[in-house]
Amino acid sequence: MADNIEVLGRDASVSSAGNKVLRNTYALLGMTMIPTILGAMVGISIDFSWLFAASPMVAFIGIMAAVYGMSWLVAKNSNNALGVWLLLGFTFMMGMLLGPILQMALSLSNGPQLIGLAAGGTAASFLTLAAVASNTKRDFSFLGKFLTIGFVLVVLAILANFFFQVPALSLTISAIVVLLMAGFILYQINQIVRGGETNYVMATLSIYISLHNMFSHLLHLLMALMGNND
């Protein structure tokens, strides 16, 4: 009897801590949308063609180095106030990196509608996945290994298509990324609720990256399938 009470008390403590981290994560995630939008506005006004003109691979590697370098700085400072400011700076940079795809979308006659549709689809997916992950008793930690393997395979496919430029493969990759990011969001939020992630800065960082990838690849799919040049 005493053991059962102790287990229930421990579960209640984990649940309470998880809910607090989740609330802080959602609040910070909402804040990241402001620098993201500001960064996107800046990115739309920048001519990125010169960056990829000389050596697209070098530009790609440089961008990835900046993204992972900034992510590393956020992680290193995730337990202090500087981590929050670095995260907001990171999201501003990520907003700027949306510039090229937003420029492509806005060159279409129905571009603004496609951007809105991609944003709405991403938001609806997040709300649905968050509701499932935070209310179910199921443990989704088993997804971690499969998602990691899937992410590595997608990165390799992106690098391969960087050289071969196959449109069908590009669309397939985008479709897989959207599904993969949905899995990551489900996994990440479930980990928070179950006490597997106790740092809301790191939780926000991981969820934000998933949402950023989901939005950009969903927009890519919508432009390919519904884009209107007239």
Structural domain count, the chain: 1
Is a pLDDT exceeding 80 seen at residue 133? yes
pLDDT class of 44 with cuts at 50, 70, 90:
very high
- Return all residues near 64 (Cβ < 8 A) that are at least 6 apart: none
Give 96-137 as a DSSP string.
HTTHHHHHHHHTSTTHHHHHHHHHHHHHHHHHHHHHHHHH--
pLDDT of residue 7: 41
Mean pLDDT of 50-54: 71
CA distances from 63 to 58, 190, 218 (A): 9, 30, 21
Nearest residue to 78 (alpha-carbon basis) of 34, 126, 35, 21: 21
Is a pLDDT exceeding 80 seen at residue 168? yes
pLDDT of residue 3: 47
- Return all residues near 162 (Cβ < 8 A) that are at least 6 apart: 56, 57, 60
**pTM summary value:** 0.88
Under a CB-based contact definition with an 8 Å cutoff, are residues 71 and 190 in contact?
Answer: no
pLDDT digits (tens, 9 = 90+) for 190-220: 999 988 889 999 999 999 999 999 999 999 9
CA 105, CA 205: separation in Å to the nearest integer?
26
Is a pLDDT exceeding 80 seen at residue 140? yes
The residue written with tokens 């992972």 in the block is 68
Mean pLDDT of 43-68: 82
pLDDT of residue 15: 59
pLDDT digits (tens, 9 = 90+) for 4-25: 444 434 444 455 666 889 999 9
- Token readout for 36 is 């993201």
Chain centroid to Cα 225, Å, comes to 22
The boundaries of the domain holding residue 184 are: 2-226
pLDDT of residue 190: 93
- Token readout for 80 is 């202090």
pLDDT of residue 10: 46
pLDDT of residue 16: 66
Mean pLDDT of 149-166: 85
pLDDT of residue 78: 93
Cα-trace Rg, the chain? 19
